[in-house]
């Protein structure tokens, strides 16, 4: 029941907020509810066993048997931390919007809560149609969040975001239908859209190396296109800077922190395990665009005049690391990629929060308007520097562990890709430190010297949301094994059984039982 | 007390100090901040002494104390523990770091007394000591890398300590990014070693690597050594990544003494000594190390000849002396390289502190053209500076003589070295003698050119005492490692403490049998040349000051090029950095904004026009859409059931 609760609690809470709260109290209610949701998600620790490779906390009910849609939830090492990341970032993002979002507050709260449900749902759904529904449904609240509470070009940005992602998802839907058909054909007409059943298809997805027009390659790219746009991988990334710049702070935090991970998670859940030969054969494509994305994102970030755009392009660079790590397809690479997903959520989330905080006071995101902030806002400076160090992967912060493991894994798989990608380590430091220098150092000037209502330094409320992130930055950097050990078994299973991957799901209804279930025997 | 507790005190005392001062960063109480910070490092130093005594009590072939706290990163076959090892190599380093570190912390109390942010300064300085200890004590490459980047971070923060000045902030950023270039190489070195040998643990690496030396350039050992050396050129300011160190002088002077002279910049040398058993198997990599070291030693010394800023002269001098260290380890004289690290730590730290004392006395003046005749006004500073001056130019019996001459000697006889490298080193030594005499003459001797508004005064005791201690060390420090030929002449026949201590822990090269006559004559040549240079330089700057100006004029374009530091910065900016920024702007404008987005617009237009026919369906009525939805689902179900 736990996963169902975590998934639908926010949606239920949304109804409560809708019914009970007023415009003024809505945020307080919602904050309380998102904290309850976070605590509920922490209950997973009580039931989740770290050393187990297969699915845990499984819930499996037959739902719409005619089209193979089961209500099938489960969590394993690949999704465990992403769920917690989601439930952690949501309340923090909400507090980040405490004073900056001040129109239609109640609607805003409903949006946040629905968004949370769909995000958690995406990570726990083990039926592909269910996954698709959550994956798509998450677009809607984000569409409204940017479209209603965004900046001046919000409509352009949100439509671009929506169309891009939708365009990719259509291919995924086609892919899912095709996989269901193939499954039915090879299993005596039994219908299933369960991801665990798709894993059993290996050997039944014809693959011819070097050509495009074979089932496995086509399906692999259908899925991968959807996820690549979501990640986003170069050259599908241009929706991201626009969306980030226009999105309100909580939108940016959730977009960067969680929504992008749906893409990389999709690679890990679908593209790589279901199509092992194609994934291995076409890994070079993702090495190429991943590594290119690292350098490209970093270079373009270096010349951005707008803080949020800079951080957005840094996301492109960071997600490039995740891509090459995934396609290294060895324990270090995949583990590093998983870790980097969390890191990126924590540190880029924190960066967007920080940028939001300063924007709220100065109403400028232009880097050239700033200077000498360090002498006026020391606490803000300390927080920003710590997050910067995490973002540029200085050891003892979380970023280092992820980047190191990814590059190590990639080096094992392909030395040239690693040697090229390692340049990102230099460029990453360049753009971040350049921004730090321009904003914080020198004599106070520009918007920094103008009068501000609350002063420029952090308020207690803001400190309260940054502290957990800073603690995580160091904890994840100093004691990564606390996190890695929860994912290790699942990653090992994925890597070692590449080609004959299966995910054990206790209490899963075998397909032949489903007929019985349909007739109400169960 | 158990070893792990001792290690914990050694490492964490500075960390606790850093946290203490970091939390109360707003405080202006320099005395309290300085006392806590210095106390923390002194505690660390005493613990280090105790641990080293414990280590010395162990039998020679078992001298290593390993402490492992926890498993840091474990993924698949990759293990990195948060583990530390104290062996003769790291023992030398921790004594230098905490010993010289304590003195510089104490000196800083006086130096930073009137600064606005003393707590922050001492927090950074303590944090630096912590990271430096991580670097030298780490039992594997990854822990070393933590310290390696950590000291770089502290260096960044301290160079840009007076961040209100954009130029200083830029210098910090330049240091960090240049170091990052090296670090990228270092990372590749770690990867290659791990992929080749399956471990990053020093003890295992030093045992695992096969006994046979590797031929050629592209073998895994040679390549990983070269990659690691790229890291060393960054951290230890060697060609081609030395450019950050002269700019790093923007930081407070004690920082230059501690980080940019005595400790951090020697990390590259330490790393090679630590991996000596690996490096010795890659003769080509060793050759590169030695050659880069020798060329840097000479090249940087020439740049030191023309600088007017007292700290810049010392900066180029540091780069040059680091070059000698790399020359030493590159020819296989690992313990000699580390010996020079030690003596250099004493005399160069003192030089910077002395320069700091001068700058402090002159209210912040750094230009040597506005100094002169300070010997009378600042007697202690002058006397201590005189000791280190004699030490660095390598006159016996001062410390630098023993360590530098040893490196030159081994360069000459080593199978990895040779005449050419020795000659480059020797010319470098001559230049060293020249620029140091010039510095002494312009600063302390001759007529005073100090502005009349400035009244030089000797520094308080808290600043003078560290100067004296380091001065004594610079005189006697070299006696710990005298060559056999000289020890033989001494009445007591003192043992060669330093090399006896270190040699069991490093890889040893078999030196050829050479006659003592050769050794004495090489020693004689270098001492004679240095002596002659000193006399000449003294003459050119004190007796006939017009001579030096005339020399500069006669050399014309050559002088220009050298005085402009060979236009290397201009080259890097013009040929690398600016084109890269232009490229980035181009990518953004043409690929992102124009190319990709235009394709998207084109596609969407095309879809729109193609969808024109379907527009009839889009009536905007919600009920109608619901109908379509239901119809669609029915069709899908139907299709599936039929198939």
Q: With contacts defined as CB-CB under 8 Å, which chain B residues touch A180?
A: 640
- Burial of B575-606, coded b for 16+ CB within 10 Å and e otherwise, reads eeeeeeeeebeebbeebbeeebeeebeeeeee
CB contact under 8 A, A430 and B177: yes
Average pLDDT of chain B, as a whole number: 88
CA distances to A2, A3, A10, A129 from A119, rounded to whole Å, are 16, 13, 11, 15
Which of B139, B164, B190 lies at the terminal end of a domain, its last residue?
B139
**Bridge partners of residue A64, in order along the sequence:** A69
Q: Does B55 touch chain A (CB under 8 A)?
A: no
Higher pLDDT, B624 or A296: A296
Q: Can you give the pLDDT at residue A517? A: 46
Whether residue B637 is found in the same domain as residue B546: no
Q: What is the pLDDT of residue A292?
A: 94
Residue B635 confidence class, pLDDT cut points 50, 70, 90:
low
Preceding omega of A136 cis (within 30 degrees of 0): no
User: Whose CA is closest to A95, among A363, A462, A509, A422?
Assistant: A462
Residue B337, pLDDT score: 93
Q: Is B161 strand, coil or helix?
A: coil
User: Tell me, what's the pLDDT at A247?
Assistant: 93
Q: Which residues pair with B36 in a beta bridge?
A: none
Distance in Å, alpha carbon of A238 to nearest chain B alpha carbon: 7
Residues A249-259 have pLDDT tens digits of 999 999 999 99
pLDDT for B636: 59
Whether residue A1 has pLDDT greater than 90: no
**Domain enclosing residue B4, as ranges:** 1-139
Reported as a pLDDT band with limits 50, 70 and 90, residue A71 is: very high
* Closest residue, chain B, to A240 (C-alpha): B592
Residues in chain A: 522
Residues B259 and B393 in one domain: yes
What residue of A is the nearest CA neighbor of B25?
A: A378
Q: What is the pLDDT of residue B632?
A: 62
Question: Which residues face B138 on adjacent strands?
Answer: B84
Task: For residues A262-280, give the mean pLDDT.
Answer: 93
Question: Does residue B607 have a pLDDT over 80?
Answer: no
Q: Which residue has the tokens 């569409």?
A: A143
Q: State pLDDT tens for residues A408-445.
A: 999 999 999 999 999 999 999 999 999 999 999 999 88
B488 in a structural domain: no
Residue B315 CA to residue B321 CA, distance in Å, equals 10
Assess whether B410 and B301 both reside in one domain: yes
> B640 at the A interface (CB within 8 A)?
yes
What residues are paired with A158 via a beta bridge?
none
Number of H helices, E strands in chain B: 29, 2
- Is residue B619 scored above 70 in pLDDT? no
Write out pLDDT tens, residues A452-497: 766 888 889 999 999 999 999 999 999 999 999 999 999 999 998 8
pLDDT for B152 beyond 90: yes
Q: What angle do CA A450, A98, A37 make, to 5 degrees?
A: 150
Cβ contacts of B25 on chain A, cutoff 8 Å: 378
Does residue A433 lie within any of the structural domains?
yes
Residue whose tokens read 């500073």: B381
Which two three-digit tokens encode residue B130? 């912590």
| Count of A-B CB contacts under 8 Å | 151
User: Smallest Cα–Cα separation from A231: which of A356, A123, A317?
Assistant: A317
CA distance B613 to chain A (A): 20
Question: Residue B605 has which token pair?
Answer: 């237009």
Using pLDDT thresholds of 50, 70 and 90, give the confidence band for residue A515: very low
Q: Which one has a higher pLDDT value, B272 or B374?
A: B272
User: What pLDDT was estimated at residue B598?
Assistant: 81
pLDDT band at A516 (very low <50, low <70, confident <90, very high): very low
Interface test with A, best of B73, B127, B135, B199 (most A CBs within 10 A): B73
Inter-axis angle of helices A26-42 and A105-124, to 10 degrees?
A: 20
Cα of A188 to nearest chain B Cα, Å = 11
Which residue, B563, B582, B616, sits at the end of a domain?
B563
Residues in chain B within 8 Å Cβ distance of A422? 184, 187-188
Q: Is residue A170 part of a domain?
A: no
- The answer to whether B394 and B526 are in contact (CB under 8 A) is yes
A-contacting residues of B 172-201, CB under 8 Å?
Answer: 173, 176-177, 180-181, 183-184, 187-188, 190-192, 194-195
Chain B residues whose CB is inside 8 A of the A162 CB are: none
Name the residue in chain A with its Cα closest to that of B164. A442
Q: Residues B525, B609: one domain?
A: no
pLDDT at residue A93 is higher than 60: yes
- Chain A CB within 8 Å of residue B92 CB: no
Q: What is the DSSP letter of A459?
A: P
In this complex, the residue of B166, B587, B643 whose CB is nearest that of residue A300 is B587
| Whole-angstrom distance, CA of residue B627 vs CA of residue B606 | 27
Angle at B293 between CA B289 and CA B297, to 5 degrees: 175
A408 found inside a domain: yes
Asked if the Cβ–Cβ distance from A184 to B640 is below 8 Å, we say: yes
Question: Does the structure's ipTM exceed the value 0.85?
Answer: yes
How many independent structural domains does chain A possess? 1
Are residue B285 and residue B335 in the same domain, yes or no? yes
Peptide bond into A134 cis (omega under 30): no
Q: Which residue of B has its CA nearest to A186?
A: B643
CB-CB under 8 Å, B75 with A335:
yes
Average pLDDT over residues A29-36: 94
**Token reading at A207:** 């693959």
Higher pLDDT, B147 or B609: B147
Q: Please name the residue of chain A whose CA is at the shortest distance from the CA of residue B598.
A: A238
A394 min Cα distance to partner chain B (Å): 7
Q: Which burial class, exposed, middle or buried, applies to A282 when counting CB atoms under 10 A from its CB (0-12, 13-18, 19+)? A: buried
pLDDT of residue A520: 43
Query: Which of B72, B145, B191 faces A407 most closely, judged by CB atoms?
Result: B191
Among B91, B123, B139, the domain boundary falls at B139
| In a domain? residue B489 | no
Residue in B26, B163, B604 closest to A163 by CB: B604
B358 class by beta-carbon count within 10 Å (0-12 exposed, 13-18 middle, 19+ buried): buried
Is residue A294 a contact partner of residue A317, using CB atoms and an 8 Å limit? yes
Give B454-500 pLDDT, tens digit per residue. 888 877 888 888 889 999 988 888 888 888 777 777 776 677 888 88
Q: What is the CA radius of gyration of chain B?
A: 29
**8 A C-beta contact, residue B375 and residue B456:** no
pLDDT of B558 reads 85
Same domain, B287 and B210: yes
CB A248 within 8 A of CB A308: no
Rounded Cα distance between B152 and B263, Å, is 12
Q: String of b and e for B243-281 (b: at least 16 CB within 10 Å)?
A: bbbbbbbbbbbbbbbbbbbbbbbbbbbbbbbbbbbbbbb
Q: Are B385 and B354 in contact (CB under 8 A)?
A: yes
Chain B hits for A405, CB-CB cut-off 8 Å, are 73, 75, 78
Q: What's the distance, CA A483 to chain centroid?
A: 17
- The pLDDT tens digits of the residues spanning B224-280 come to 999 999 999 999 999 999 999 999 999 999 999 999 999 999 999 999 999 999 999
Pairing of strands A69-75, B65-75: unpaired
Closest by alpha carbon to A242, among A303, A293, A300, A309? A309
Give the count of domains, chain B.
3
Give pLDDT tens digits for B325-337. 999 999 999 999 9
Residue in chain B nearest A382 by alpha carbon: B22
Task: Identify the helix (H) or strand (E) that includes residue A491.
Answer: helix A481-496
pLDDT for B513 equals 84
pLDDT at B372: 85
Same domain for B546 and B423: yes
Tell me, yes or no, whether B312 and B325 share the same domain. yes
- The reply to whether B162 touches chain A by the CB within 8 Å rule is no
% of chain B residues with pLDDT over 70: 94
Say whether pLDDT at A135 is over 90: yes
Could you tell me if residue B183 is inside a domain? Answer: yes
Q: Chain A: nearest CA to B131, how far in angstroms?
A: 11
Phi, psi of B237 (to 5 degrees): 50, 60
B103 and B240 together in one domain: no
Is A429's CB within 8 Å of B176's CB?
Answer: yes
Give A200-208 contacts, CB < 8 A, sequence gap 24+: A200/A502, A201/A274, A202/A274, A202/A276, A202/A499, A202/A500, A202/A501, A205/A274, A205/A275, A207/A275, A207/A277, A207/A278, A207/A281
Examine residue B203 and state whether it is found in any structural domain, yes or no: yes
Asked if B127 and B154 sit in the same domain, the reply is: no
Q: Residue A522 above 80 pLDDT?
A: no
Q: Which residue's structure tokens are 């001494």?
A: B490
Neighbour tally for A296: CB within 10 Å: 25
Query: CA end-to-end span of chain A, whole Å?
Result: 18
Q: Are residues B78 and B206 in the same domain?
A: no
What is the distance between the alpha carbons of residues B371 and B442, in angstroms, rounded to a whole number? 7
Q: Residue B153's closest chain A neighbor by CA? A: A394
Is A291 part of any domain?
no
Most confident region among B122-136, B358-372, B475-489 by mean pLDDT = B122-136
| Kind plus residue range of the DSSP H or E element containing A476 | helix A460-478
Q: Is there a domain that residue B490 lies in?
A: no
Which of B76, B191, B588 has the CB atom closest to A331's CB atom? B76
Residues of chain A contacting B156 with CB distance shorter than 8 Å: 433
Chain B residue numbers with beta carbons less than 8 Å from the beta carbon of A191 are 640
Q: How many angstroms separate the CA atoms of B347 and B356, rounded?
A: 14
* CA distance from start to end of chain B: 77
Q: Is B634 on the interface with A (CB under 8 A)?
A: no
Q: Looking at chain B, how many residues does it have?
A: 643
Task: State phi, psi for B345 to the nearest 5 degrees.
Answer: -60, -40
Please state, as a whole number, how many other Cβ atoms lie within 10 Å of the Cβ of residue A333: 29
Rounded CA separation B132/B271 (Å): 12
Between A177-191, A225-239, B482-496, the lowest mean confidence (pLDDT) is in B482-496
Q: Is residue B621 predicted with pLDDT exceeding 80?
A: no
In angstroms, the CA A430 to CA A425 distance is 9
Same domain, B445 and B385: yes
Look at residue B491 and tell me if it is in a domain. no
Residue B378 is assigned to a structural domain of this protein: yes
Of B250, B222, B507, B208, residue with least CA distance to B359: B250
Q: Are B373 and B444 in contact (CB under 8 A)?
A: yes
Subunit contact A66:B641, Cβ cutoff 8 A:
yes
Confidence of residue B640 (pLDDT cuts 50, 70, 90): low
Phi/psi for B96 (5° steps) reads -65, -50
What's the average model confidence in pLDDT over B5-13?
Answer: 94
| Probe site for chain B from A157, A321, A404, A421 (most B CB atoms < 10 A) | A404
Environment class of residue A186 by beta-carbon count within 10 Å: exposed (0-12), middle (13-18) or buried (19+)? middle
Cα of B468 to nearest chain A Cα, Å: 37
The SS3 of residue B336 is helix
pLDDT for residue B573: 86
| DSSP 8-state symbol, B62 | G
Say which DSSP state A302 is in. H
Task: Specify the DSSP class assigned to residue A194.
Answer: B
Confidence of residue A108 (pLDDT cuts 50, 70, 90): very high
CA distance A291 to A415: 12
CB contact under 8 A, A395 and B146: yes
Question: Which of A113, A192, A496 has the alpha carbon at shortest distance from A331?
Answer: A496
B5 close contact with A: CB closer than 8 A: no
- C-beta atoms of B163 and A185 within 8 A: no
Expressed as residue numbers, the domain containing A472 is 297-484
Residue B500 is predicted with a pLDDT of: 87
């Amino acid at each position: 029941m736990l996963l169902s609760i975590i998934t639908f609690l926010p949606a239920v809470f949304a109804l409560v907020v809708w019914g009970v709260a007023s415009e003024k109290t809505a945020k307080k209610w919602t904050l309380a509810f998102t904290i309850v949701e976070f605590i509920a998600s922490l209950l997973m620790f009580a039931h989740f066993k770290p050393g187990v490779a297969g699915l845990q906390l499984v819930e499996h009910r037959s739902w719409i048997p005619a089209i193979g849609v089961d209500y099938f939830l489960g969590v394993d090492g690949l999704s465990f931390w992403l769920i917690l990341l989601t439930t952690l970032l949501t309340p923090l993002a909400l507090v980040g919007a405490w004073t900056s979002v001040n129109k239609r507050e109640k609607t805003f709260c409903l949006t946040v809560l629905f968004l949370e449900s769909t995000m958690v749902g995406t990570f726990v759904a083990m039926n592909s149609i269910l996954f698709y529904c959550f994956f798509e449904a998450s677009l809607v609240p984000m569409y409204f969040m940017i479209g209603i509470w965004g900046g001046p070009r919000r409509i352009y940005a949100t439509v671009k975001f929506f169309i891009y992602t939708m365009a990719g998802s259509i291919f995924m839907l086609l892919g899912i239908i095709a996989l269901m058909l193939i499954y039915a054909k090879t299993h005596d007409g039994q219908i299933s859209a369960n991801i665990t059943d798709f894993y059993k298809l290996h050997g039944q997805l014809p693959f011819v190396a070097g050509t495009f027009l074979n089932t496995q390659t086509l399906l692999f790219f259908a899925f991968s296109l959807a996820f690549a746009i979501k990640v986003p991988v170069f050259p599908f990334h241009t929706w991201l800077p626009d969306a980030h710049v226009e999105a309100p702070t909580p939108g940016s935090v959730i977009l960067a922190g969680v929504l992008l991970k749906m893409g990389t998670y999709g690679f890990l859940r679908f593209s790589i395990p279901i199509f092992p030969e194609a994934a291995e054969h076409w890994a070079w494509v993702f090495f190429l665009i991943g590594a290119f994305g690292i350098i490209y994102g970093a270079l373009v970030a270096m010349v951005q005049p707008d803080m949020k755009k800079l951080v957005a392009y840094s996301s492109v660079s960071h997600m490039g690391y995740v891509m090459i790590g995934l396609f290294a397809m060895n324990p270090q690479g995949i583990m590093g990629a998983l870790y980097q997903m969390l890191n990126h959520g924590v540190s880029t989330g924190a960066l967007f929060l920080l940028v939001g905080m300063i924007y709220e006071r100065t109403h400028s995101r232009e880097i050239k308007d700033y200077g000498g902030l360090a002498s006026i806002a020391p606490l803000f400076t300390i927080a920003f520097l710590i997050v910067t160090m995490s973002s540029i992967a200085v050891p003892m912060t979380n970023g280092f562990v992820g980047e190191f493991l990814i590059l190590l894994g990639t080096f094992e798989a392909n030395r040239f890709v690693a040697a090229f990608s390692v340049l990102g380590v230099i460029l990453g430091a360049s753009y971040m430190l350049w921004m730090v220098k321009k904003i914080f150092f020198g004599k106070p000037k520009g918007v920094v010297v103008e009068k501000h209502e609350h002063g420029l330094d952090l308020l207690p409320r803001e400190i309260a949301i940054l502290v957990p992130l800073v603690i995580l930055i160091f904890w994840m950097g100093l004691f990564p094994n606390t996190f890695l050990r929860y994912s290790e078994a699942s990653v090992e299973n994925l890597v070692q059984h590449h080609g004959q991957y299966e995910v054990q799901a206790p209490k899963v209804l075998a397909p032949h039982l489903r007929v019985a279930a349909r007739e109400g025997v169960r | 007390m158990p070893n792990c507790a001792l290690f914990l005190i050694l490492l964490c005392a500075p960390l606790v100090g850093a946290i203490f001062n970091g939390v109360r960063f707003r405080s202006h109480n320099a005395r309290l901040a300085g006392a806590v910070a210095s106390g923390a490092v002194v505690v660390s130093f005493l613990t280090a002494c105790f641990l080293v005594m414990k280590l010395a009590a162990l039998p020679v072939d078992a001298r290593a104390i390993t402490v492992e706290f926890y498993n840091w990163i474990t993924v698949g076959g990759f293990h990195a523990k948060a583990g530390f090892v104290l062996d003769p190599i790291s023992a030398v380093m921790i004594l230098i770091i905490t010993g010289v570190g304590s003195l510089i912390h104490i000196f800083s109390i006086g130096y930073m007394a009137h600064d606005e942010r003393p707590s922050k300064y001492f927090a950074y300085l303590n944090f630096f000591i912590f990271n430096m200890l991580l670097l030298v004590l780490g039992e594997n490459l990854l822990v070393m890398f933590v310290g390696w980047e950590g000291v770089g971070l502290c260096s960044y923060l301290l160079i840009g300590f007076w961040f209100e000045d954009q130029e200083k902030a830029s210098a910090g950023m330049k240091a960090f990014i240049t170091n990052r270039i090296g670090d990228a190489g270092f990372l590749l070195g770690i990867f290659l070693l791990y992929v080749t040998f399956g471990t990053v643990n020093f003890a295992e690496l030093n045992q695992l690597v096969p006994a046979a030396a590797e031929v050629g350039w592209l073998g895994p050992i040679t390549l990983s050594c070269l990659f690691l050396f790229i890291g060393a050129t960054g951290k230890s300011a060697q060609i081609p990544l030395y450019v950050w160190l002269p700019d790093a002088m923007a930081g407070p002077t004690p920082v230059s003494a501690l980080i940019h002279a005595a400790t951090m910049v020697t990390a590259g040398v330490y790393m090679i000594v630590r991996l000596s058993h690996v490096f010795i198997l890659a003769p080509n990599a060793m050759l590169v190390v030695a050659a880069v070291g020798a060329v840097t030693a000479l090249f940087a010394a020439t740049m030191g000849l023309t600088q007017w800023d007292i700290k810049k002269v010392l900066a180029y001098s540091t780069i040059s002396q680091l070059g000698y260290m790399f020359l030493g380890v590159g020819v296989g004289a690992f313990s000699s390289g580390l010996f020079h690290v030690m003596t250099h730590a004493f005399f160069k730290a003192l030089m910077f502190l002395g320069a700091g004392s001068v700058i402090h006395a002159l209210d912040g003046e750094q230009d040597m053209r506005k100094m002169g005749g300070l010997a009378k006004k600042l007697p202690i500073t002058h006397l201590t500076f005189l000791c280190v001056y004699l030490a660095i130019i390598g006159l016996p019996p001062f410390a630098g003589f023993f360590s530098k001459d040893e490196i030159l000697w081994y360069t000459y006889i080593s199978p990895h070295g040779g005449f050419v490298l020795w000659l480059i080193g020797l010319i470098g030594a001559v230049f060293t003698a020249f620029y140091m005499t010039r510095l002494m003459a312009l600063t302390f001797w001759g007529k005073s050119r100090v502005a009349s508004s400035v009244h030089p005064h000797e520094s308080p005791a808290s600043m003078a005492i560290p100067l004296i201690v380091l001065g004594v060390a610079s005189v006697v420090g070299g006696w710990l490692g005298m060559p056999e030929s000289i020890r033989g002449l001494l009445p007591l026949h003192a043992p060669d403490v330093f090399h006896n201590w270190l040699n069991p822990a490093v890889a040893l090269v078999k030196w050829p049998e050479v006659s003592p006559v050769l050794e004495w004559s090489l020693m004689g040549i270098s001492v004679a040349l240095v002596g002659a240079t000193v006399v000449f330089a003294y003459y050119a700057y004190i007796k006939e000051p017009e001579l030096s100006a005339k020399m500069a004029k006669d050399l014309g374009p050559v002088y220009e090029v050298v005085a402009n530091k060979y236009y290397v910065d201009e080259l890097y900016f013009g040929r690398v950095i600016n084109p890269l920024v232009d490229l980035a702007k181009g990518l953004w404008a043409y690929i992102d904004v124009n190319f990709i987005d235009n394709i998207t617009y084109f596609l969407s237009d095309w879809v729109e026009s193609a969808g024109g026919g379907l527009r009839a369906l889009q009536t905007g009525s919600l009920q109608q859409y619901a109908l379509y939805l239901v119809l669609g689902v029915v069709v899908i179900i139907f299709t599936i059931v039929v198939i």
